[in-house]
Amino acid sequence: MDLPVLITVLVLALFFGYGVYLFIRGRQSEVEKRLGQYTAPTVEAEAEEAVRAARRSPLGDRLERVLSGRGFAENIRTQLARANLKLTAGEFIAATVISVILFGFLAYFLGHRNPLFGLGGAVLGFFAPRWYVSFLQQRRLNAFNSQLSDTINMLVNGLRAGYSVLQAMEAVAEEMAPPASEEFRRVVREVQLGLSMEEALNNLLRRVPSDDLDLMITAMNVQREVGGNLAEVLDSISFTIRERIRIQGEIRALTAQGRYSGYIVSFLPIVVAVLIYFINPDFIRPLFENRTCGWPILGFAAMGIIIGNIVIRKIVEIEV
């Protein structure tokens, strides 16, 4: 193996290892989850602070100081909070840079050292961490929405049993499974630390951008200002959420064929082009090397794939 290739492989392995370390470190370990079920809130807060201090890295701290007060950094922090990733904005940007370098070099060498492949790999590496965060956000949001009806029912039962709103939320934090238990435990802790109930609920909505949760929080804020039977209001909201979930499930079942047809139509040309390139590179190489004719064809093809995917998604998406 040539020396430049060997050095490149070692550098890529180093970057890949550091990137994996950042993302694995961002996920809450199973040990922390189990300990959190049996520790008091004050002990849990101290443990989280100790873990946070142990997770700090010089590169992440330096980037965090540079990014402090920037608008896009605050947006990154919000996205990471919604994904429940224990990463700072600086660490996420460092992981993005590592991903760009890693994907770019891999695509460059796998594509027979074609700069166009290297550029495409770098673009893919730039969006890969964002896609991963979006995937975690959507998975966590879906899990929370599926628990929200049972969560509201538990709140209603607690209020009818004579609990205060905060006590009912404590019961939810103890009895429900994550992510609902984690989010309501944060709400209870923020109220105990001095925030008002409205501020704590707004922070919850910032972490979990759910329309159903927004409806519940609005009802609780209105009830706190004008009075009324909160248990009855939440009970009706719970019924509405259950019906909406049922209708959404039926719609997804009826539109499943259209959605997967869109996926196949979008990815099939890309898969076929990659297979042809590796089987017979000389046959498809003019598309990438001919700037006068090949590149416009690739551009129009990519535009057609994107437009077709958007049209199919708009057809099969039905708002409830």
Between 15 and 303, residue with greater pLDDT: 303
- Domain shared by 147 and 232, yes or no: yes
What pLDDT is recorded for position 35?
40
- Domain shared by 42 and 91, yes or no: yes
What pLDDT is recorded for position 21?
52
Count Cα neighbours of 159 within 13 Å in the Cβ-side half-sphere. Answer: 18
Residue at a domain's end among 239, 264, 294? 239
Domain count, the chain: 3
Name which of 1-5, 13-17, 89-93 the model is least confident about.
1-5
Mean pLDDT, residues 280-296 taken together: 82
Mean pLDDT, residues 43-52 taken together: 44
What pLDDT is recorded for position 3?
46
77 located within any domain: yes
Residue at a domain's end among 137, 154, 185? 137
- Domain shared by 31 and 122, yes or no: yes
The residue type found at 195 is L
Structural domain containing residue 301: 256-316
- Domain shared by 21 and 49, yes or no: yes
Structure tokens belonging to residue 155: 């709140």
- pLDDT band at 320; cut points 50, 70, 90: low
Mean pLDDT of the chain, nearest integer: 79
- Domain shared by 170 and 107, yes or no: no
248 located within any domain: no
Residues of the chain with pLDDT > 70, as a percent, come to 78
Beta strand segments in 109-193, E: none
Q: 145, 319 in Cβ contact below 8 A?
A: no
- pLDDT band at 66; cut points 50, 70, 90: low
Taking the alpha carbons of 106, 109, 111, 115 in that order, is the dihedral positive or negative? positive
- Domain shared by 42 and 120, yes or no: yes
245 located within any domain: no
Residue at a domain's end among 83, 102, 137? 137
Between 4 and 281, residue with greater pLDDT: 281
Taking the alpha carbons of 89, 93, 96, 102 in that order, is the dihedral positive or negative? negative
- Domain shared by 123 and 166, yes or no: no
Query: Per residue in 153-174, pLDDT tens?
Result: 999 999 998 888 889 999 999 9
Rounded distance between C-alpha atoms, residue 116 and residue 205, angstroms: 43
CA 90 and chain centroid, separation: 17
Query: Per residue in 67-119, pLDDT tens?
Result: 666 667 788 888 888 888 888 887 888 888 888 898 888 888 877 777 877 88
What pLDDT is recorded for position 33?
45
- Domain shared by 117 and 146, yes or no: no
Q: CATH number for the domain including 166?
A: 1.20.81
The answer on pLDDT for 64 being more than 70 is: no
Mean pLDDT, residues 177-201 taken together: 90
Give the chain's largest Cα–Cα span: 77
The answer on pLDDT for 273 being more than 60 is: yes
130 located within any domain: yes
